[in-house]
Structure 1
Amino acid sequence: MPQTAEHLMRSRYTAHVLVAVDYLKETLWPKHQPYFDPVAVGEWAARNHWAGLTVIATNLGSEKDRDGTVLFEARYLANGRLDTHRELSRFRKKAGRWYYVEALPE
């Protein structure tokens, strides 16, 4: 179980690489899980070749925090073109476990 928001973010990137859709749903904030589309997420993750992850910044999100954000860039090859997904992600801890909540505007 990831101990920080950044560790969860990195594990979710790995889940995209491995097309571990169940893990992506399990680590999504519980109130958002009913709206999770495993087919669409799995298809998107599988059709891309993941090329790397860079964590740019974190704010809070330590073992002692309840909330945190992680700014990252994930590179992937799609349709013969290298692209970058840049996101400021919000994470929240509930009952000692970190969850991905949402993407925030930068």
Structure 2
Amino acid sequence: MNSCPCGSGSDYIACCEPIIAGKKTAETAEELMRARYAAHVKVEIDFLYDSTHPEHREWYDHKGTRVWAANSEWHGLEILGTTQGRPQDEQGEVEFVARFRDGKGLHNHHERGKFKKEEGRWLFTEGIMVKPKPLSVNKVGRNDPCTCGSGRKHKKCCGK
């Protein structure tokens, strides 16, 4: 079995390959997102261009995308959630993390991809980077119970 790089668990020839080859259209925004990730892995750059909405191709760098995709190690796609993007919808959003390694190191590309359906075909419009959430630190007061679970006050236990 040649597992699809999109992480669906299906065989590539039954999953993303027909979409990338133009034999089938993606039924949902998530299907298109998965196919676009697989296209990066398989260096199918023409599909990436063709599946980008024409109004959003202005800054597309065909050659640069090809070089980057070919020189990266792809470590997986995680779909975190979708908003709309079903077959009956006209637009959708897919939040995902794509993991890859390039010459600069290991990356977790966390994005909310926007999609629009035109003439029955889903197209990628733009990606909005998701910033990491700041670490939250719970401040323990001197007289609060100790976080270690001893039952003593923090100042008399781990806060010494």
Give the Cα separation in 2 of the matches to 1:66 and 1:75: 28
In the other structure, the counterpart of 2:70 is 46
Partners of 1:32 and 1:25 in 2: how far apart? Answer: 10
Residues 26 and 83 (structure 1 numbering): CA distance in 2 closer, same or farther, change over 3 Å? same
RMSD (CA atoms): 1.4
| More helix, by proportion | 1
The offset of 1:105, in angstroms, is: 5.2
What is the alpha-carbon distance in structure 2 between the residues aligned to residue 37 and residue 72 of structure 1? 22
Counting only pairs closer than 5 Å after superposition, residues 12-51 of structure 1 correspond to structure 2 as: 12-51=36-75
Indicate the residue corresponding to 2:140 in structure 1: none
Whole-angstrom CA distance in 1 between matches of 2:70 and 2:37 = 13
Residue segments in structure 1 that go unaligned for 5+ positions in a row: none
Matches within 5 A, 1:1-106: 1-79=25-103, 81-104=105-128, 106=130
TM-score w.r.t. the length of structure 2 is 0.63
CA distance in 2, matches of 1:33, 1:88: 18
The list of structure 1 runs, each at least 4 consecutive aligned residues, that deviate by more than 4 angstroms after superposition, is none
Give the number of aligned pairs.
106
Q: Output the amino acid matched with 1:88.
A: R
Which structure shows the bigger proportion of residues in strand conformation?
1
| TM-aligned CA distance change 1:77 to 1:104, over 3 Å | closer
**Equivalent position SS for 1:62:** coil
Identity of aligned residues (%): 38
Query: What secondary structure, in the 3-state scheme, does the structure 2 residue paired with 1:2 have?
Result: coil
> What is the CA-CA distance between 1:80 and the residue it aligns to?
7.4
Which fold has the larger relative contact order, with Cα–Cα distance below 8 Å and residues 6 or more apart in sequence? 1
Bigger shift: residues 25-34 or 82-91: 25-34
Question: Quick one: which amino acid aligns to residue 85 of structure 1?
Answer: H
- TM-score, scaled relative to structure 1: 0.93
